[in-house]
Structure 1
Amino acid sequence: MDNLILRDDIIDDDLEIFEIINHGIPRQVFLRPDLFHSHDDRAFFSRFRLTKETVLQLLPSIEPYIERPYNRNNTVTPMNQLLITLMYFASNSHMVTISDVGKMNKSTVCRIIKRVSNAIARLYRDYIIFPRNELEVNQTKNKFFDIASFPNVIGAVDGTHIRILSPGGDDAEIFRNRKNYFSINVQVISNAYLEITDLVARWPGSVHDVTIFNNSIIRRQFENGQHPDCFLLGDSAYAMKDYLLTPLQNPRTEPEQLYNESHIRTRGAVEKLFGIWKRRFPILAYGCRLKLDNILTIIVATAVLYNIAKKMGEAEPPLPAEVDEHEFQVLLRNGDIPVVPILNPNQLLGPQVRQNLIINYFANLQ
């Protein structure tokens, strides 16, 4: 009798708890939003950092890897999976915030970001391409020459640090960089169109740029003679090579000053690239809170997306006005780029190649 009275007095909330205890937690069914059509073009670009046109071009390339083999259990569409991932790249919001926007569980968001990032990273060889033939090499050289009349340049190389949380474990400190935060040191080679043509994203933040370059495939290619008569430009952190030129520490003559000024302006392409890349996908600047393997995949995925945006002619985040403290007059190009032969690397070391270039080319620009 007492039990019956107690049962009759149960209020609605208690009845729900009673049902959960006896029958399990009720299944939640979310009403998925239409993230693609729910924003106008301007709001869409602001939230996802790509235009609708680019997203529509990209989706078929990754859809086979992210589409679920069935349409049960209220699956998330490939389009919403892609947009949820882009939202994460564009904001680095906590998973729970993005799950609220996408009307899905936090664990679902985590799985989606991992799945879509892997699918985009698969496109690496299609969009991150170092010049492969004579036509591409000449186009790259011409575009670099237009910047400040530096001849035979095929790429500008530099490293940038992508902030991460401490990965923990015995080796965590190797990820702490010289600025005292945890990071991945990413090596990038840029062309004059501000596209990423080579990417190395696997080294801890404490590793020096020279170490990364010395262990890279691109270094082996140059030393095996795969890119004859071509220069890479690097800052003073790099060791001089017959194919990797750095600025002079103390230029004394006018040709040496011209060399340095031309070098700095031309190599500035890679620094501009870093600014645009990180402004387009702020997760690279704010820091990523995922597991290390997922972070490396995201770095590659955002590099692919960055190049896709460049190919599609997407609007770029505004760049700061370029400041040239030592502006100098350069020769107007008439016809082809002047031929500046590179002597046999077995005969000249890096500093000698640089001096030869200064004497035989930059001295003639005065």
Structure 2
Amino acid sequence: MLFTYIFVGCPGSVHDARVLSYAMERDSTFPTPPPSKYYLVDSVMRTRGYLAPFRGHRYHLPHFQVGSPPRDEEELFNRWHSSLRSVIERTFGVWKKKWRILSEFPDMVETQNKIIISTAGLHNFIRLSQIQILILMMLCMLTQFHENSLVTMEKVEKMKK
């Protein structure tokens, strides 16, 4: 759950599709999807390289959890799309909860933009640091297990003699 791109500067509170549109129009460094890769978008954005759900089919996860399983390929796609989209929404939720200043913005737009970029960067840094710490812990545990196994094997060899 990391941010891969941040765009700031949209006026007021705007829909996701509008932010994407602004970013594509106004940021020359906007990372378009590479060949055979896609960005997950809502139903408003239907362009090559962007995956939108099928209209006219069930979409939200609760509809699948309570109701019947997907009835066709479009509903199955929508179910997976909704599941992935919930990960994106959860990332924003974690970010906003961790950085409460995001809900109490100062009035100055420049300061708001700096806060958004800074907290998103810190969010990624913390997440990546946690991943690295987990990897180090696992390596230590494996090393410890290996060392204990060697000791046990040495004991077995001594017992044989």
The two structures have a TM-score, normalised by structure 1, of: 0.29
**Secondary structure in 1 matching 2:95:** helix
Change (3 A) 1:290 1:215: closer
Give me the whole-angstrom Cα distance separating, in 1, the residues matched to 2:9 and 2:51: 24
Change (3 A) 1:218 1:244: farther
The RMSD of aligned alpha carbons is: 2.4
CA deviation map 1:279-316 (0-9, x unaligned): 1111112x2124221111111111111111101118xx
CA deviation map 1:128-147 (0-9, x unaligned): xxxxxxxxxxxxxxxxxxxx
Which amino acid is the alignment partner of residue 100 of structure 2?
P
Superposed counterparts of 1:1-366, under 5 Å: 194-216=1-23, 217=27, 221-222=31-32, 227-236=34-43, 238-251=44-57, 253-285=71-103, 287-313=104-130
Work out whether residues 232 and 244 of structure 1, in 8 Å CA contact, stay in contact via their aligned partners in 2: yes
Give me the whole-angstrom Cα distance separating, in 2, the residues matched to 1:239 and 1:212: 11
Which amino acid is the alignment partner of residue 292 of structure 1?
V
Give me the whole-angstrom Cα distance separating, in 2, the residues matched to 1:197 and 1:218: 16
Map of 2:141 onto structure 1: none
Change (3 A) 1:255 1:219: farther
Give me the whole-angstrom Cα distance separating, in 2, the residues matched to 1:292 and 1:228: 36
Deviation at 1:211, TM superposition (A): 3.2
Give me the whole-angstrom Cα distance separating, in 2, the residues matched to 1:267 and 1:219: 24
Give me the whole-angstrom Cα distance separating, in 1, the residues matched to 2:120 and 2:35: 27
Structure with the higher fraction of residues in strand conformation:
1
Which amino acid is the alignment partner of residue 8 of structure 2?
A
**Secondary structure in 2 matching 1:228:** coil
Change (3 A) 1:305 1:211: same
Identity %: 28
Which amino acid is the alignment partner of residue 120 of structure 2?
A
Deviation at 1:219, TM superposition (A): 9.0
Tell me how many residue pairs correspond in the alignment: 116
Give me the whole-angstrom Cα distance separating, in 1, the residues matched to 2:121 and 2:14: 24
Give me the whole-angstrom Cα distance separating, in 1, the residues matched to 2:17 and 2:2: 22
Q: Unpaired runs of 5+ in structure 2?
A: 59-70, 132-161
Change (3 A) 1:295 1:239: same
Give me the whole-angstrom Cα distance separating, in 1, the residues matched to 2:88 and 2:31: 20
Which amino acid is the alignment partner of residue 300 of structure 1?
I
Q: Unpaired runs of 5+ in structure 1?
A: 1-193, 315-366
Change (3 A) 1:207 1:280: closer
Give me the whole-angstrom Cα distance separating, in 2, the residues matched to 1:312 and 1:266: 23
Work out whether residues 213 and 219 of structure 1, in 8 Å CA contact, stay in contact via their aligned partners in 2: no
Deviation at 1:199, TM superposition (A): 0.5
Structure with the higher fraction of residues in helix conformation:
2
Give me the whole-angstrom Cα distance separating, in 1, the residues matched to 2:89 and 2:30: 24
Give me the whole-angstrom Cα distance separating, in 2, the residues matched to 1:218 and 1:310: 28
Structure whose alpha-carbon radius of gyration is higher: 1
